[in-house]
């Protein structure tokens, strides 16, 4: 029987774990892990490439804290349990029905899928009754729950793409990109195509690979490695670009962004996101300056001429904040979803209000969720530490070096698992995979849908059928889609979220989930 002092300790330790760390400590831990634990393979080519970094950090009370010392100051240990790098995602034409390709290789998504691999390993430990698992038995047969003294913090070196990256730019700041001319929307070629988001000049301005985009400089007195944005417009294609500060915007158009500015500061523009509004949403105005974007919308990640089906990282993080990070499959074994306690962002253009709007504000009024599910009040903080292989940092180091600065084409996955923790991919497959080798088992990322499904099936086969959770005993399940649909509580929560907030969410057709 657990003593009252121990119960008080667990409560106190859990509360302490939420406060006994700083954003800089989380960022430093992740940067050190990236430098020491990840190999050179898959990392950016020095002075030519950049990448993004994301990770999941486990926070728990220090092991040496005794249960009989409730007055002793609480200490916590911090451990990176998954990590991801990457900037790419594949277009719709490259998607595969076999589940063996990574559709989305942005760092945040790689880190989360790596975290699911870690959770599967921890469930294996729990099922084998190993004491070092993060899970303890739940109240219902076959179900587990997270130890009460543990929590998870999500780290990203940059604000998530999509809504969280639509950040107001004030009059005294450098412009984020070349201004959009007043008469751009009246251009006959734009009107004829009906495309308000793809004029050539604007694409050059937003393209992170463009030579006119996002040159960086160090301000006097700026700490080493911390850069401020300075952008240069394409003067050749726009001979007389107007100053954004002269744009005449209505009160309504500015209302969404001026609310994020310090009192009295003038918002003249916004940092732009390359993520496009999904079909069915209102869409961006494309107007000059601060009214260019409409905030709060669902967005899809851009592709190189081939539209993607991958929702923005802002949208996915908002979804995880309601449904948990474990996904539908693992919910079969869990009594409660695995939620993030905090999100920490590295040094980059940042708005606390934009982050809160994107990650929690859009789902604030969701109701009628099944038991165990709830909209989380996740803690959001920014670190003052810059990722050394971010675009900002690399641009400063290379100064005016030859060639273009380009995003790294590879993605790295790392999980805190004993066997083959690393996975390096490019274009959705393990790096080095040839066209001939795509059908082989070696041409599968360990965090692809089909491989995570195989790990799930392996976990299930290690447990005697009389100890299976009820959700897996109702009927015989075979395909990936059938197993996902059988997680009834998760699907009910997802349905409520779509109906009440994310009705335009792009979902892949069921035939992409029919593999076994």
Q: Note if the pTM is more than 0.85.
A: no
| Alpha-carbon distances of 292 from 55, 270, 355, 488, rounded to whole Å | 32, 8, 18, 41
Copy the structure tokens of residue 166: 């639509």
Q: Percent of the chain, pLDDT > 70?
A: 76
Return d(Cα 343, Cα 320) in angstroms, integer: 12
Return d(Cα 443, Cα 434) in angstroms, integer: 9
495 pLDDT exceeds 50? yes
- Concerning whether 252 is annotated as a catalytic residue, the answer is no
| 175 Cβ contact list (under 8 Å, min separation 6) | 169, 231, 233, 244, 268, 269
Query: Quick one: pLDDT at residue 131?
Result: 83
Return d(Cα 434, Cα 204) in angstroms, integer: 32
Copy the structure tokens of residue 501: 């907030």
Q: How many Cβ atoms sit within 10 Å of the Cβ of residue 507?
A: 10
Query: Quick one: pLDDT at residue 443?
Result: 83
Largest CA distance in the chain: 78
Judge contact between 483 and 69, C-beta under 8 A.
Answer: no
Judge contact between 106 and 85, C-beta under 8 A.
Answer: no
Judge contact between 290 and 269, C-beta under 8 A.
Answer: yes
| 219-244 pLDDT per residue, tens | 333 333 333 332 222 222 323 332 23
Return d(Cα 117, Cα 132) in angstroms, integer: 17
Out of 45, 49, 79, 108, which one is annotated catalytic? 108
Query: Quick one: pLDDT at residue 260?
Result: 60
Return d(Cα 37, Cα 33) in angstroms, integer: 5
SS3 annotation, 173-190: CCCCCCCCCCCHHHCHHH
Return d(Cα 8, Cα 72) in angstroms, integer: 13
499 pLDDT exceeds 90? yes
List the single range of 20-24, 131-135, 168-172, 394-398 with lowest mean pLDDT. 168-172
Judge contact between 300 and 312, C-beta under 8 A.
Answer: yes
How would you classify the pairing of strands 342-345 and 151-156? parallel
DSSP letter (8 states) at residue 362:
G
| 31-86 pLDDT per residue, tens | 999 999 999 999 999 999 999 999 999 999 887 654 545 556 678 999 999 999 99
172 versus 395: which is more confidently predicted? 395
Return d(Cα 163, Cα 215) in angstroms, integer: 23
Query: Quick one: pLDDT at residue 435?
Result: 80
pLDDT confidence band for 247 (50 / 70 / 90): very low
Q: What's the N-to-C CA distance of the chain in angstroms?
A: 44
Return d(Cα 195, Cα 190) in angstroms, integer: 6
Query: Quick one: pLDDT at residue 236?
Result: 29
Query: Quick one: pLDDT at residue 180?
Result: 33
Query: Quick one: pLDDT at residue 372?
Result: 96
Mean pLDDT of the chain: 82
Judge contact between 12 and 71, C-beta under 8 A.
Answer: no
Query: Quick one: pLDDT at residue 327?
Result: 97
- Mean pLDDT on 361-381: 96
Helix (H, G, I), strand (E, B) or coil at 475: coil
List the beta bridge partners of residue 407: 50
Copy the structure tokens of residue 124: 């294996």
């Amino acid at each position: 029987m657990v003593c009252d002092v121990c119960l008080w300790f667990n409560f106190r330790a859990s509360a302490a774990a939420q406060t006994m760390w700083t954003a800089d400590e989380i960022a430093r831990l992740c940067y050190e892990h990236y430098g020491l634990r990840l190999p050179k393979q898959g990392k950016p080519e020095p002075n030519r490439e950049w990448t993004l970094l994301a990770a999941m950090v486990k926070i728990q009370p220090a092991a040496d804290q005794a249960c009989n010392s409730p007055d002793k100051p609480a200490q916590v240990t911090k451990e990176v349990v998954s990590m991801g790098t990457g900037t790419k995602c594949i277009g719709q034409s490259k998607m595969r029905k076999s589940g063996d390709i990574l559709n989305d290789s942005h760092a945040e998504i790689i880190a989360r899928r790596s975290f699911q691999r870690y959770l599967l390993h921890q469930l294996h430990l729990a099922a084998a009754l190993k004491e070092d698992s993060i899970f303890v038995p739940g109240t219902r047969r076959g179900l587990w729950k997270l130890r009460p003294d543990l929590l998870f913090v999500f780290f990203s070196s940059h604000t998530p793409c999509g809504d969280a990256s639509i950040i107001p730019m004030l009059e005294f700041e450098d412009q984020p990109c070349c201004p959009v001319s007043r008469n751009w929307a009246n251009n006959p070629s734009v009107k004829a195509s009906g495309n308000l988001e793809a004029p050539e000049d604007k694409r050059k301005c937003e393209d992170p690979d463009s030579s006119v985009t996002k040159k960086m400089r160090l301000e006097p007195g700026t700490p080493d490695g911390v850069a401020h944005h300075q952008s240069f417009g394409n003067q050749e294609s726009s001979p007389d670009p107007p100053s954004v500060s002269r744009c005449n915007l209505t009160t309504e158009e500015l209302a969404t962004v001026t609310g994020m500015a310090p009192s009295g500061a003038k918002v003249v523009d916004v940092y732009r996101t390359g993520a496009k509004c999904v079909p069915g949403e209102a869409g961006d105005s494309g107007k000059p300056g601060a009214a260019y974007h409409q905030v709060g919308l669902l967005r899809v990640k851009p592709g190189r001429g081939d539209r993607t089906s991958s929702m923005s990282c802002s949208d996915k993080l908002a979804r995880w904040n309601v449904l948990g990070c474990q996904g539908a499959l693992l919910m079969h074994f869990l009594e409660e979803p695995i939620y993030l306690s905090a999100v920490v962002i590295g040094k980059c253009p940042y708005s606390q209000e934009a982050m809160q709007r994107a990650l929690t504000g859009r789902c604030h009024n969701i109701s009628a969720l099944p038991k165990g599910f709830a909209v989380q009040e996740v803690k959001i903080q920014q670190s003052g530490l810059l990722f050394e292989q971010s675009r900002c940092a690399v641009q400063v180091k290379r100064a005016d070096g030859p060639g273009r600065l380009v995003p790294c084409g590879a993605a790295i996955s790392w999980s805190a698992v004993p066997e083959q923790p690393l996975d390096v991919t490019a274009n959705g497959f393990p790096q080095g995979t040839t066209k001939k080798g795509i059908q082989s088992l070696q041409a599968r990322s360990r965090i692809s849908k089909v491989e995570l499904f195989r790990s799930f099936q392996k976990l299930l086969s290690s447990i005697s059928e009389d100890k299976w959770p009820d959700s897996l005993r109702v009927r015989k399940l075979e395909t990936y889609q059938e197993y996902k649909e059988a997680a009834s509580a998760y699907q009910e929560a997802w349905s409520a979220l779509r109906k009440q907030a994310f009705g335009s969410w792009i979902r892949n057709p069921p035939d992409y989930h029919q593999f076994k």
